[in-house]
């Protein structure tokens, strides 16, 4: 089963076109609520290849503050942290990277895993080796997406250097009903809360 989880409406169009060329069953998962548009028609996209998103500097328009690369075209910038996200959580990861840079001088490599299966293993392993601190974020029960990422790293990482990982998601309890943004805050999924979890990887109070 091929699985795509695009981050916004623009990427959804690209994902839909991509799976028309896939042999066998395929599925696209996306949020029902309105999701911030954080990509453009000319943003790099390749089926099965993750995107690297880097916050550069404050701009009046949010999306202009970031640069996007195909992972297989990206050169290591010696970032302090890697946030791995998919779907609607990509926008929150971007906001978190903005906060971490502006308030704590922490450089963040965001990996947008729009293709969950087949997943970009090389991209994840490079981040594990080059950075050593990974935080996964997902808007579902914690561990679904996070465990996939952890499995890739556990199987392929050489562990030549220290490595630490944490997962942000909905804790193991029944869901609740409410407005989407209220639920994001209630479950600890918004950028400010992701930032708090990221700081713990650096023992920042």
Structure tokens at 50: 């993750």
Q: What is the pLDDT of residues 25-74, one digit of tens each?
A: 999 998 777 889 999 999 999 999 999 999 999 999 999 999 999 999 99
How much of the chain, in percent, has pLDDT values that exceed 70? 99
Buried b (16+ CB within 10 A) or exposed e, 65-101: bbebebbeebeeeebbbbbbbbbbbbbbbbbbbbbbb
Residues 197/68/54/158 CA torsion (nearest 10 deg): 70
Question: pTM score, two decimals?
Answer: 0.94
Nearest to 17 by CA among 30, 7, 4, 8: 4
Q: Where are the domains of the chain?
A: 42-200
Give mean pLDDT, residues 147-168.
88
* pLDDT at 111 (0 to 100): 98
What is the CATH number assigned to the segment(s) 42-200? Answer: 3.40.50.920
Angle of CA points 111, 201, 96, to nearest 5°: 45
Quickly tell me which residue has 């996200």 as its tokens. Answer: 85
pLDDT at 181 over 90: no
């Amino acid at each position: 089963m091929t699985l795509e989880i695009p981050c916004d409406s623009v990427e959804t169009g690209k994902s839909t076109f991509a799976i028309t060329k896939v042999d066998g069953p395929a599925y696209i998962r996306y949020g029902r609520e309105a999701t911030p548009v954080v990509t453009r028609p000319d943003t790099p996209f390749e089926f099965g290849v993750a995107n690297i998103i880097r916050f550069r500097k404050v701009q009046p328009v949010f999306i202009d503050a970031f640069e996007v690369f195909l992972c297989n075209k990206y050169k290591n910038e010696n970032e302090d942290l890697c946030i791995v996200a998919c779907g609607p959580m990509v926008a929150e990861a971007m906001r978190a990277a903005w906060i971490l840079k502006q308030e704590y001088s922490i450089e963040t490599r965001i990996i947008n895993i729009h293709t969950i299966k087949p997943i970009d293993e090389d991209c994840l392993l490079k981040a594990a080796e080059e950075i050593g601190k990974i935080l996964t974020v997902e808007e579902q029960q914690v561990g679904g997406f996070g465990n996939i990422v952890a499995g890739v790293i556990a199987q392929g990482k050489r562990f030549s250097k220290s490595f630490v990982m944490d997962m942000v998601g909905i804790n193991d309890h029944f869901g609740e009903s409410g407005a989407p943004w209220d639920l994001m805050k209630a479950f600890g999924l918004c950028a400010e809360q992701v930032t708090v979890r990221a700081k713990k990887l650096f023992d920042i109070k």
